[in-house]
């Protein structure tokens, strides 16, 4: 690693390969029942939307067996 020519504050951090802090983060708060229910409801809603879009979209993606003719072609 190269050294800086100008002095910088906290040079020991700039020159370190990896900075490790000795401060532990605060513990995470446990989720309440309402938060768990809300998150699962959102997940189920997203999953149901994806399944519904597949159910409605798959018939449109299937090739039709009979060629489609326009009304103008039938009248002639």
Sequence spans of domains, the chain: 31-57
Give per-residue pLDDT as tens, 3-39: 656 666 666 666 666 667 788 888 989 999 999 999 9
DSSP assignment letter at 32: P
Give per-residue pLDDT as tens, 29-67: 999 999 999 999 999 999 999 999 999 998 888 887 766
């Amino acid at each position: 690693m190269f050294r800086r020519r100008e002095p910088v504050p906290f040079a020991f951090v700039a020159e370190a390969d990896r900075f490790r802090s000795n401060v532990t983060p605060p513990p995470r708060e446990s989720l309440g029942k309402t938060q768990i229910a809300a998150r699962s409801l959102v997940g189920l809603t997203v999953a149901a939307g994806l399944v519904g879009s597949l159910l409605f979209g798959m018939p449109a993606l299937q090739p039709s067996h009979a060629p489609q003719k326009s009304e103008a072609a039938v009248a002639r």
